[in-house]
Structure 1
Amino acid sequence: MTFQNASAAGPDRRRWIALAVVLTASFMDLVDATIVNIAIPSIQEDTGASFGAIQWITAGYALAFAIGLVTGGRLGDIYGRKRVFLLGMGGFTVASLLCGIAADPAMLVGSRVLQGAMAALMVPQVLSIIHVTFPAEERGKVFGMFGAVAGLGAVSGPMIGALLTEWDLFGLAWRPIFLINLPVGIAGLILGRRFISESTAPDALRLDLRGVLLATAGLLMLLYPITMGHENDWPAWGFVSMAASLPVFAAFVAYQKRKQRADGSPLVELTLFRVKSFAAGIGVQLAFSTGLGIFFLVWTLYMQLGLGWSALHAGLTGLPFSLGCSVAAGMSVQKLTPRFGRKVLHGGAVMMVSGALLYLAASDRYGTEISTWQMALPLTLLGAGMGLVFAPLTNAVLSGVPRRHAGSASGLINTTNQLGMALGLGLVSVVFFGAMDEPTAPQEVGPAFAGAFENAMWWVIAILGVVYALLFALPKHNPAEEPEPAAEAEPEQKEELVTV
C-alpha cells in the first residue's frame, strides 16, 4: 500500500507497529556503534587481536556505514524503502551472527564491515518510512520519539556492552553483544514485512555507481594507512596511498560536476557547498566527530587496559557523561538555542574543553590511582558540552539550505559524522599508540597508557578549538525563527517527498 492510498483512506492504524519496527532498527544500529568499545579487552584476550585489528573492529563499522549512507538512501528511493529496509535489517542480523561466532580477528573485522554496510542500507530508510507513513499533523510527535530513541541508543550502548560482557552468559564472554541482535532482527523482519507500507520517491534519480566507486577508493586509500601505519612501522606504501587519495578525491569532485550537468543525478549535491553555513557546518561536523572518535576509544583503553578496571566498572564510570549529555541536549533544543542561538554551541565547545582540561589535571595528579569519583566532574562537563553542540548542530547547518535540498543535505551531514568517527578511530594509532612508550614490565603498563591518554586528550582539545572557530560561520540565531520567503514555500513543498 502506498502513501497516497493511505492518505486517501485515512492513516493506516498499523502505522504505530511500523514505527516500533523502524525505531527498534535505529536503536539497534546506535547501540552496535558504541557497544564494542567497552568489550575491547575481552575481545583482545579471547582472540589475540592486535591493536590494529581492534581499531578496525570499531573503525571498519563506521567507515562502511559512512561510505554506504548516501547510496543506501538513494537505493530506497529507487527500489522501495520497505524492500531496502528489510534487506538491510536481514543483512545486519546475519552480520551480527557472523560477528558473534567469529573464530579469529580477521573474521570479526570482516563481519563488522559487513554489519556497517548493512546498517547503511537500513538506517537511511527510517526517516523516509516515517515521513510517508504518518500524516503531517503527527510527524512532530513521531520525530520527537525518534530523537528520544536515538539518544537512548547512543547512551545505553556502553552500559549494555558492559553488562553482557561482565555476565559472561553461557561462557561466551564478549559474543552476546552481537548475538543479542538475532531475536531483535528476526522479530523486526517478521513485523516489518507485515506492517510497513511500501513507498518510492517519484522521479527517483539514478544510482551513481562511478561516484560510489571513486568515493570508496579515496576513503580507503586515506584511512587504511592511518589505521594500520603504527602497527606496520609506517611503511612507505602508506604515505604513497594517502598522497594518492587526493587526486582520487579531485577526480570524484570533477566527476560529480560532470554528472550534474549530464543528467542531474550526482551522488553528492555539490551546489550545497555554496551555502556558507552548510560548508562551515560540514567542517564542524567532521572535526567534532573526529574528536569524539578519538576520545571514546582511548578513554575505554585507558580505563580497562591502563587502569585495569572491569567492563562494568568502566561502563558505570561513564554514567555522568551520559546523563550530562542527555540533559544538556534536551535543554539546548527546547530552551537555550531558541533564545541564545549560536552562543549555545560555543558554550558547549568551551564546556568540553574545560572538562578535558580537568580530566588532564586529575590524571596527572592521581596517575593510575585515579578513581571513578575523581572523573565524575570532568565527564559531566564533557557530556553536557557534547549535548549542547551536537543536538542543535543539524538545524544550524541546514538553516541556509533551500528546503528542496534538505534531504540531500541531511544525508551529507550524517555521512560526514560517520566519516569523522572513522577518521578519529584511525588517528588513535597516531595520537595514542604512537605516543605510548612500550612497557617492559607489568608495573609500567598503567603509566604508559595514562601518558598516551593525556597526549590524545590534548589532540581532542586542539580539535575542539577548531570546532569553536568554525562555529562562527554558522547563523547567529535559531533557524526556526527565520521565516522562509513566501514565494519559495510552494515549490519546496512539492519536492518534499523526493528529498526525504
Structure 2
Amino acid sequence: MASSTEGKSNPKLPSKASSSSQDLEAVQPSKEDYVYPADGYSMPRQILFIATVCMSMYINQLGLCNTLTTLQIIGDSFGISNLGQLSWFMAGCSLTIGTFILLGGRLGDEYGNKKMFLLGMSWLSLWSLVAGLSVYSNHVLFIFARVFQGLGPALTLPNALAILGKSFSEGRRNMAFAWFAAAAPFGAMTGLISGALFSMVWWPWIFWSQAVGVAFVAAFAAWIIPDMPVQEEQIRSLRQKLDRLDLPGGAAGVMALVLFNFAWNQAVVVTWRDPYVYVCLILSLVFGALFFYIEIYRARHPILPIAAFTSDILFVFACTAAGWATFGIWLFYVVRIALNIGGQTPIQLAAWFTPILITGVVSALLDSSRFLVTSILMALRPPDSIYWTYFFFGTIIATIGMDTSLPAAIMIFASVVPPQYQGMGASIVMTIVNYSISLGLGFAGTIEVNINHGGHTEADLLYGYRGALWFSVGLTGLGTVLSLIFLVQNHRKQKSNDNKAEENLPEDHQS
C-alpha cells in the first residue's frame, strides 16, 4: 500500500525517470511552499554562514594547488622523477572528486546536507594527515592518500552548494554562489604559497597543516550551519532506502568514470602497449552504457535526472567541461615549463600567480573564448620570456574564464532542480568540473609522452609540454564553437518566439 501511494502522498518527490522534461517540472514545489531560513539571518550571521560554507571550495582548491609547484620535491623524496607518475599526485585527487561527487550530492539530499558536509571535512582532515605520514612509507601510500582525500571534497562541495541553495531565495542564492566561486582563487593562492613555504622546511607539513585547518573548519561548521531539511517522506524499509540511493546506477557510473579516467592517466605511465590499459577503457564504455540504461529504464529514483538535460543545459555543460579541462592542462604544464626549463622556484611561481586573487574575485562576482586566448598565449610563450608578458596576461585571462563559467553553470542548473534536490544539481556541475580537470591531464599527458622523444633534453621536454598546451587550445576551440552554436540556436529560438507573439497565435493552435 505504501509503495502504491508514494507518488501521490508527496508530489515534491520525483517518480521514475522519464525522457520528458515535464516530469521534472511536475515535482517542482511552488515558491510559496518552501521557506529559505537564511533570508532572515542578521548580516553578521549571513557573512559567517556563507564564509564557512564557501570554505569547502577554498579548501578544495588549496588541496589541489599545494602540490602543484612541489611535485618534484615530493617525488624526489620518494625517488620518483617520471612525469606520468608525478601527475597522479594531482590527478588522483581530482579523479576521486569527479567520480564520487554525484553520490555525495545524493547522500546529502537523502540523509542531510549538513551531516555530509561535516563528514566530508572530517574525512579530508584524516587523509591529509595520512598523506603527510606517507613520508615514512612510499609513494604508493601517498597516491593512495591523495585519492582518498578526494572523497572529502566529493562530499563537501555538492552539499555546500545544496546548503546555499536551500538557505537563500533566488537573488541572495546567486550572490552566495558567486562568493562560492570567488573562494576558489583564494584557496588556489593559499595552496601555492603554503606548499612553497612548507616545502622549504619539510613537505609533509603541507598536509599536516591542512589536516589541522580542515578539522577546525569542521568544528566551526557544526556550530554555524543549521540543520538542513531532508525528505519529508518516511522511509519504512531498507529496500526503499536502497531505491532512493540508486545504488546499482551509482555503482555502474562510478565504475565507468574510474576505469575511463584510469585508462587515460595510466597510459601516460605505461603507454597503450599494456593490454590492461585498453581493457579498462573498453570496460568503462560497457559500464557507461549500463549506467544510462539503469538511469533511463530501471531506476525509480535516478541519481542522474535525465529529464533535466535539455539541449541548452547540455551545451552549457559541454563548454564548461572543455574550459575546465583546458584550465587543468594550462595550470599543470605552465608550472612544469617554469620549474623544469625556466628555472623558477616554487615561491617565485606563487608570487607570479598573485593576479588570480583580483581577477578571480572580480570575474566571479560580476566564457570559453578566454580559455582559448590564454592557451594560445602559453603555448607560444618562450621559456625565457619575462613575467610581465605571456605569463601575466595568461594568468589573468584564465582566471576570469574559470571563475565566470562555474557560477554560471551552477545557477543555470540550480534553476531547474527542486529546492530539496539542490545537492543533486550541484553535484552534476562539480562532477563535470573536477572530472574534466583529471581527464584533460590524462589526454594531455598521453600526447606529451608520445611526442617528446623520451624527454631527455630541455628541447624535447619543451616540445612535449607545448604539444600538451596546443591540445588545450584545440579543446577550447571546440568549446568556443559549441558556444557559438548555442548562441545561434538561442537567437533563433528567441526570434521564433517573438514572431509567434507578434502573430498572436496561441500555443494550443500551433502545429
TM-score bin (small chain): 0.7 to 0.9
2:277 to 238, 248, 269: 238
Amino acid corresponding to residue 76 of structure 1 in structure 2: G
> Any idea what the Cα deviations from partners look like across 1:378-418, whole Å, max 9, x if unmatched?
52464266258625641685499476787644432221111
Amino acid corresponding to residue 262 of structure 2 in structure 1: Y
Amino acid corresponding to residue 333 of structure 2 in structure 1: V
What residue is the counterpart of 1:470 in the other structure?
A: 482
Matches within 5 A, 1:246-325: 246-260=285-299, 263=300, 265-273=301-309, 275-320=310-355, 323-325=358-360
1:68 and 2:104 matched: no
2:197 to 155, 163, 167: 163
User: TM-score by structure 2 length?
Assistant: 0.77
Q: CA deviation at 1:116?
A: 0.4
Contact residue 93 and residue 146 of structure 2 kept, 8 A: yes
Distance 1:431 1:78, change over 3 A: same
What residue is the counterpart of 2:223 in the other structure?
A: 194
> Any idea what the Cα deviations from partners look like across 1:187-228, whole Å, max 9, x if unmatched?
223323333322233247811111121111112221212111
Matches within 5 A, 1:332-411: 334=366, 345=367, 349=369, 351-363=370-382, 368-380=383-395, 382-383=397-398, 386-387=401-402, 390=405, 393-394=408-409, 398=413, 401=416, 408-411=424-427
Distance 1:269 1:406 in 2: 12
Distance 1:90 1:256, change over 3 A: same
Distance 2:415 2:125 in 1: 39
Q: CA deviation at 1:127?
A: 2.5
Amino acid corresponding to residue 454 of structure 2 in structure 1: E
What residue is the counterpart of 1:494 in the other structure?
A: none
Q: CA deviation at 1:120?
A: 1.0
Amino acid corresponding to residue 362 of structure 1 in structure 2: R
What residue is the counterpart of 2:447 in the other structure?
A: 431
Distance 1:447 1:72, change over 3 A: same
What residue is the counterpart of 1:22 in the other structure?
A: 53
Distance 2:176 2:490 in 1: 22
Distance 2:37 2:411 in 1: 32
Distance 1:227 1:474 in 2: 31
Amino acid corresponding to residue 222 of structure 1 in structure 2: F
Amino acid corresponding to residue 434 of structure 1 in structure 2: N
What residue is the counterpart of 2:186 in the other structure?
A: 152
Distance 1:428 1:121, change over 3 A: same
Distance 1:391 1:52, change over 3 A: closer
Amino acid corresponding to residue 461 of structure 2 in structure 1: F
SS at match of 1:217: helix
> Any idea what the Cα deviations from partners look like across 1:238-283, whole Å, max 9, x if unmatched?
12221232222111101111234xx2x111111223x111112221
Distance 1:322 1:450, change over 3 A: farther
Contact residue 64 and residue 116 of structure 1 kept, 8 A: yes
Distance 2:115 2:392 in 1: 47
Distance 1:93 1:239 in 2: 35
Distance 2:350 2:358 in 1: 13
Q: CA deviation at 1:92?
A: 0.7
User: TM-score by structure 1 length?
Assistant: 0.79
Distance 1:381 1:375 in 2: 10
Distance 2:163 2:38 in 1: 18
Contact residue 131 and residue 207 of structure 2 kept, 8 A: yes
Contact residue 37 and residue 297 of structure 1 kept, 8 A: yes
Contact residue 444 and residue 471 of structure 2 kept, 8 A: no
Amino acid corresponding to residue 24 of structure 1 in structure 2: M
> Any idea what the Cα deviations from partners look like across 1:42-64, whole Å, max 9, x if unmatched?
11111223433322221111111
What residue is the counterpart of 1:39 in the other structure?
A: 70
Matches within 5 A, 1:454-493: 454-475=466-487
Q: CA deviation at 1:474?
A: 3.1
Distance 1:75 1:398 in 2: 19
Amino acid corresponding to residue 476 of structure 2 in structure 1: L
1:89 and 2:121 matched: yes
Distance 1:398 1:123 in 2: 15
The number of residue pairs the alignment matches comes to 446
Q: CA deviation at 1:15?
A: 6.1
For structure 2, list consecutive stretches of 5 or more residues without a partner in the other structure.
Answer: 1-32, 234-242, 495-511
What residue is the counterpart of 2:237 in the other structure?
A: none
2:146 to 112, 117, 126: 112
> Any idea what the Cα deviations from partners look like across 1:14-41, whole Å, max 9, x if unmatched?
6654444323333112211222211111
Distance 1:10 1:23 in 2: 19
Give the alignment's Cα RMSD to 1 decimal.
Answer: 3.4
Distance 1:421 1:374 in 2: 26
Matches within 5 A, 1:97-136: 97-102=129-134, 103-133=137-167
What residue is the counterpart of 1:419 in the other structure?
A: 435
Contact residue 101 and residue 427 of structure 2 kept, 8 A: yes
Q: CA deviation at 1:423?
A: 0.3
Matches within 5 A, 1:171-182: 172=202, 174-182=203-211
Q: CA deviation at 1:318?
A: 2.7
> Any idea what the Cα deviations from partners look like across 1:44-97, whole Å, max 9, x if unmatched?
111223433322221111111111112111111222222222111111100110
What residue is the counterpart of 1:493 in the other structure?
A: none
Contact residue 328 and residue 441 of structure 2 kept, 8 A: yes
What residue is the counterpart of 1:210 in the other structure?
A: 248
For structure 1, list consecutive stretches of 5 or more residues without a partner in the other structure.
Answer: 335-344, 483-500
Distance 1:5 1:59, change over 3 A: same
Q: CA deviation at 1:181?
A: 1.6
Distance 1:406 1:473, change over 3 A: farther
